[in-house]
A and B are shown apart, each in its own frame.
Chain A
Amino acid sequence: MGILERLNGGRWGVHPHDDHKRPAADTPLRVMPLPAKLCVPLLQHVGAPAKPVVAVGDSVLRGQLIAAAQGAVSAPVHAPSSGVVTAIGPVTAPHPSGLPFDAITITLDGEDRALEAAGVDDPLALEPAEVTRRIADAGIVGLGGATFPSAPKAQLGRKLEVQTLVINGGECEPYLSSDDSVMRHRADDVIDGVRILMHAVGARTALVGIEDNKPEAIAAMREAARAFAAIRICPVPARYPMGSDRQLVEVLTGKQVPAGARTASIGVLVNNVSTCAAIHRALRHGEALYRRIVTVNGGAVAAPGNVLAPVGVLVEDLLAFVGLKEAPARLVMGGPMMGLALPHAQVPTVKACGGVLALTAAEIARPAPSACIRCGSCVKACPMGLQPLEIAARVRAGDYDGAASLQLDDCLACGCCAYVCPSNLPLVQSFQHAKGTLWARAQQKKRNALTRELADARRERLERDARERAEAAAKRKAARAAQQASAAAPGGQEMPS
């Protein structure tokens, strides 16, 4: 951070006074018993949804491929346990809209029979392309929340000759501790995953950024990384949103990622610690990504803590396992800052779900919004250096283009502005609304271009057809005339006058 920025009060982000991470983070990891059924969604990643390769009535084994990747940016889906496929179709998505998305419903047999897994003894001896292929086959996606498929990401890193991996152990959202748990209990797995990923990408160094409010995780990771000079454990200040890749990259490397570009453009690839652990399991044990550690937390939860749960478990079942001590006022998938409120509890978890929160009314209580007093708290808090108050004023006035001109596109939706706002304005929602509206307009524009093209093509075709018909008719007429002329020439007198 330059002196100018420091003088300008360059502390972005917020510092929640109570991050609610403990005691959940300190309780021992529990393994969730198998529920009666799982709904494994087909779209758990950025890109094209996976295509089912099983049919209703098929029996599946744990780790069996049930939906294959479609296209370059996609990820396959595997069965988290054994049972019978009882439905392939829409279930409610873990999304505030309550709209459905497609999922494969498996009724479990409880036997948890597994497919024979084939691990590799020394993944570092494999060709990088082979490592990437195995990562792809295991259906690994970014588990920090971005859900970008890891294999194409590694390929991109290799193509751009990325030298530095940044491993994201920021986990800055309050309440959540699943990454913390992974680092504490599976530090060796994480470090091994980092080494495999470095091999796959061809990176020379890896910087593991861990917020300094997780001393146990830092200690465990230091211990695990002791033998590897290329991997550095870097404690970073605990500040939200330290876990955002752009912010973490800046803190660790001192460089900013250009707007609209990926971190790879400055030679850095960011991966989450849980992703690294998953890569380790995929390569060493041949285990696909079908389960993960989920933090179940919130004031309404009786026994908050980290739970190893299969992907696709219903939130309802997960909460039943940890118990509720009171009726939650809001269910959230993810952290409280960026997580999605759930319409109800009959929604499945996904690969990137690091936490499920059952929040009480007291926890989500916020005073009614009042007028903006332009105090500038949001400007101070915005990690992207935007002016949320100005953007919100434009959105409110329906001036979406004006909002876009203030770089609304760069907004992370991290929620810092709304968190600090003394007027309790619904800033994030207004930005999401504006982004959605702008997106819809852009789509409409594309559509207009397409329909215009089609209409023009049709017009041209019709004109051509008409022309051809006219020419053909003219030709026919001429031919007929010629014929008649030749027929009439000998005996022209017979023509009626």
Chain B
Amino acid sequence: MNMLASSALPSVAASPHAGQLGSVSHVMLKVMLALAPATACGFWYFGWPAFNLWLVTVLAALAGEALCLRLMAKPVVPTLLDGSALLTGWLLAVSLPPWAPWWLGVIGGLFATVIGKQVFGGIGCNLFNPAMVARVALLVSFPVVMTGWVAPIGLTGAQAPGWLESLQLTFGGSVPDAYTSASLLGQAKTELSRGVSLLQTFANGLPVSWSGMRPGSLGETAVLLIAAGGIAMMLMGLITWHIPVSMLLAIAIPAAIGHAVNPARYLDAGAHVLSGGAMLGAFFIATDYVTSPSSRGGQLVFGAGCGLLTWVIRTYGGYPEGVAFAVLLMNALTPVIDRAIKPRVYGRNWRGQPIAPRKEN
């Protein structure tokens, strides 16, 4: 019975002796799959420059992660392979103006992984969503470039830059004025600040559609595909409905109320939900595991906070778009929410005291 020689039993380990064999890379890969259709659609709308920027941003994020790991003498390749830095770079890229110059993507990607993530201790330790940290840092640092939107002219359209031309656009000079355009929220904010009522500004109807053929970042135009990707993530069990639904509702409800009260001052719920980063934020950003609460109740509060703050910032703040700020603000509250709202433990009430026994009769 030498098969049972004790040397053949190297591992005396704690239970369980079985597992699902999942891994962090699987999770990240699935999220990226869910994000891919919307991104591809964005490339289709905005052409090669958008792809260039995406590539540069993702590479910069990976480089930032690798650099930090190297400096901290941690294993580089296995950590890069978990896909989190790639996903961070990707999420950042789809929230940038698609025709932004290369250095914006590089600075953003580095900022996201170095300062947004590794400075806090790497994956799982960051307090704030790294992609949004980078986006806000870029917005605050380079407001001009970060608000230079272009209209979707397609990958193959007549006006669309070819591949070589796109390199020139991304790595060379700036975007020609002829292409620039304003996003819906930006236009609304500008006109309102001039004292022009929304009714007048959008007399020909709101430029909102499910197809997303309008100026904006990759992640805010193809809202339908974003939502589809989000629902796919729910079906795969990656996220639950709590954060997306509460966030979208918390944007839509105040928007609907405001619009009902004064349509000249407040955009309607549809415009709010379908424009800007609302969809991307609700399904891909706010649901970031690391920076959102872990309990269901906490997630509802978190999502609602993100949504409400988004609406408040869009409506009353200085910037036209507020998803990134809202998510970061709520990220800061996540530990508090986690502390305050815990799932009810079996056999205990919500406050953690044992429940009173009820006799079976």
Chain A residues proximal to chain B, CB less than 8 Å: 8-9, 14, 16, 96, 98, 162-164, 174, 246, 250, 253, 255-261, 265-268, 300, 316, 319-320, 324, 326-332, 336-345, 357, 359, 363-367, 370-376, 379, 383-387, 389-390, 406-407, 410, 413, 415, 418-424, 426, 428-429, 432
What are the 10 closest A-B residue pairs judged by CB atoms, nearest first?
A415-B16, A429-B14, A267-B360, A259-B347, A371-B124, A422-B22, A259-B354, A336-B18, A267-B359, A265-B357
Chain B min CB distance to A3 (Å): 13
| 14 A/B residue pairs, CB under 8 Å, sorted by A | A96-B13, A257-B347, A257-B357, A258-B348, A260-B347, A266-B360, A326-B3, A330-B17, A342-B12, A370-B123, A374-B294, A376-B289, A384-B347, A385-B346
Q: In the bound complex, how far is the Cα of B5 from the Cα of A324, in angstroms?
A: 13
Main secondary structure on chain A at its contact with chain B? loop
Find chain A residues with CB under 8 A from B20 CB: 14, 419-420, 422
Q: Tell me, in angstroms, the Cα distance from A363 to B19 when the chains sit together.
A: 9
Q: How many cross-chain pairs have Cβ atoms below 8 Å apart between A and B?
A: 213
Interface bin, chain B:
35 or more
Min CB–CB distance A473 → chain B (angstroms): 60
Which residues of A are found within 8 Å of B359, using beta-carbon distances? 266-267
Are B354 and A258 closer than 8 Å at their CB atoms? yes
CB nearest to B121 among chain A residues: A371
From A381, which residue of chain B is reached at the shortest CB distance? Answer: B20
- Are B16 and A328 touching (Cβ within 8 A)? no
Q: Is the CB of B355 within 8 A of A339?
A: no
- What sequence of 0s and 1s flags, for each residue 84-100 of chain B, a beta carbon within 8 Å of any chain A beta carbon? 10000000000000000
Chain A positions within 8 Å of B123 at CB level: 370-371, 373
A8-B297, A258-B355, A390-B294 known; A341 vs B12 contact (CB < 8 Å): yes
B339 and chain A: residue at smallest CB distance: A390
A211 to B23, CA, bound (A): 29
Contact between chains at B84 and A424 (CB < 8 Å)? no
Between B8, B14, B18, B290, the greatest number of chain A beta carbons within 10 A of the residue's beta carbon is seen for B18
A407 contact from B17, B352, B355, B357, Cβ within 8 A = B352
Q: For chain B residues 235-261, which have a beta carbon within 8 Å of chain A? A: 240
Q: Smallest distance from the beta carbon of B111 to chain A beta carbons, Å?
A: 21
Shortest CB–CB separation between residue A348 and chain B, in angstroms?
Answer: 15
Contact status A413-B27, CB under 8 Å: no
Q: Which residues of A contact B23 (CB under 8 A)?
A: 367, 370, 422-424
Closest A-chain residue to B17, C-beta based?
A: A336
Asked if B265 is at the interface (CB within 8 A of a chain A CB), the reply is no
Indicate if B77 sits at the interface (CB-CB under 8 A).
no
Q: Report B-chain residues with C-beta under 8 Å of the C-beta of A375.
A: 27, 289
Interface secondary structure of B, over-half rule: loop
Known contacts A370-B23, A385-B346, A415-B15; decide if A259 and B355 are in contact (CB<8 Å).
yes
Whether A255 pairs with B17 at a CB distance below 8 angstroms is no
A interface footprint on B6-38 (CB within 8 Å = 1, 0 otherwise): 101111111111111111101100000000000
Q: Is the CB of A428 within 8 A of B16?
A: yes
- A163-B360, A255-B358, A423-B24 as given contacts; A376 in contact with B347, CB under 8 Å: no
Contact B4 A422 (CB under 8 A): no
Task: Select from chain B the residue with minimum beta-carbon distance to A164.
Answer: B360
Contacts of A345 in B (CB 8 A): 1, 4, 9
B294 touches A422 (CB 8 A): no
A365: B residues at CB distance < 8 A: 21
B151 → A minimal CB distance (Å): 38
Q: From the candidates A300, A339, A343, name the one contacting B15 in the complex (CB within 8 A).
A: A339
Min CB distance, A362 to chain B, in Å? 11
In the complex, which residues of chain A have a beta carbon less than 8 angstroms from the beta carbon of B348?
258-259, 407, 410
Contact bitstring B328-361, A, C-beta under 8 A = 1, else 0 = 0000000000100011111110001011111111
A410 touches B347 (CB 8 A): yes
A242 to B19, CA, bound (A): 18
What's the least CB distance linking A289 to chain B, in Å?
25
Q: How far is the CA of A330 from the CA of B11 in the complex (A)?
A: 6
Sample of 7 further A-B pairs with CB below 8 A, known A336-B17, A387-B295, A407-B352:
A16-B18, A163-B360, A259-B348, A336-B16, A365-B21, A387-B294, A428-B16
